[in-house]
Amino acid sequence: MPPSQIKKPQTKPTKPTPGRIVIVYGPSEDGRPRAGRFNGREAEAAIKAAAAMDMVALEAKEPAVREFALKLPAGRISKTGRGFVPYLPKGLHEGLKSLTSPSDASAKIKYAAAAAAKGDVVKAAVKESTKGLWLPTSWDKIGVGALVLAQDDDPKDGWWQAIVVDAKADVVTLRWHNGTSRRPFSRHKINLGLLQPSEKPTLAFKADPASKYPANWAAIAVNHTVLAKEDGPMQQWWEATVRTMKSDAATLSWRDYPSLPELHRPRPALALLHPMPVKPKTA
């Protein structure tokens, strides 16, 4: 009988066993717990990212820890080596505390502070990260040496501080401000975000009640879309929707993550998107 006609014994398919697993966890600046699971090739990069973010990296070796790790949301490592660790539901938070020692879990994971204090912490962090750097007062003022916000190649990785190293007409070349070795990249000026400068901004846009983007910082109001820095030591920013505005204190929700808790930011700690953040079509 030809080999092709020989019936091979049926074997029951086995469920693939995940390889190396690393849990990265720790609090945000306002004390909310975060934890994420990193598998396989991302494990080593996750350990390095955890150190940069002042978080704990725990390798899941014991069966009970591995079983729990598979319940955690997956974290992400971007092309630049930065890590994104999701917020942790309270139920999973309690489970994580039961698996980790007091020396790390109790010190690193805790609930904290009032909403106003959160905003003050972030405002101070933004001020510190922009100290001594030039913040342009409008998009047409963006030039060499300017500090702006630029979206990463993958929108899921958010916006980051970047410095302009070359400017030709409306297209500029930038490098990431965090010192990554990744090579310079290009963006159109109107696809960059502006941080509020200390001097009075000279934005020349007229307020449009129908637009979701404010014309300037003074015009930020309910339902506007702005950029807000996330809680944590990284300089990562995301699109946020203004829910309430009282004087200079804004309550916002993350535009793409509406199920996460609301955040609170002072007006000066918000960044602006261009009223028309789309590159114009050329003839």
- In tens, the pLDDT along 86-144 reads 887 767 877 777 766 544 433 333 333 333 444 555 666 666 666 668 888 889 889 99
Q: Residues 200, 204, 205, 207: is their CA dihedral positive or negative?
A: positive
Q: What single DSSP character describes residue 266?
A: E
Tell me the CA distances in angstroms from 90 to 57, 170, 201, 258, one per residue in order.
19, 47, 42, 18
CA 189 distance to own-chain centroid:
21
Boundaries of every domain in the chain:
21-108, 116-272
Long-range pairs of 119-125 with CB within 8 A, sequence gap ≥ 24: 119/249, 119/264, 119/265, 119/266, 119/269, 120/266, 121/29, 121/30, 121/231, 122/29, 122/228, 122/229, 122/231, 122/265, 122/269, 123/265, 123/266, 123/268, 123/269, 125/29, 125/229
Hey, what are 76's tokens? 């992400």
Q: Mean pLDDT throughout 139-162?
A: 88
> Could you give the CA distance from residue 92 to residue 21 in angstroms, rounded to a whole number?
17
Provide the pLDDT for residue 137.
86
157 pLDDT tier (thresholds 50, 70, 90): confident
Which residue is listed with tokens 């066993």? 17
pLDDT, mean over the chain: 76
Is residue 111 classed exposed, middle or buried when 0-12, 13-18 and 19+ CB atoms within 10 A define those classes?
exposed
Provide the pLDDT for residue 120.
58
Q: Summarize pLDDT for 158-187 with one digit per residue, the tens.
A: 899 999 999 988 999 999 887 655 788 999
Hey, what are 49's tokens? 């990212």
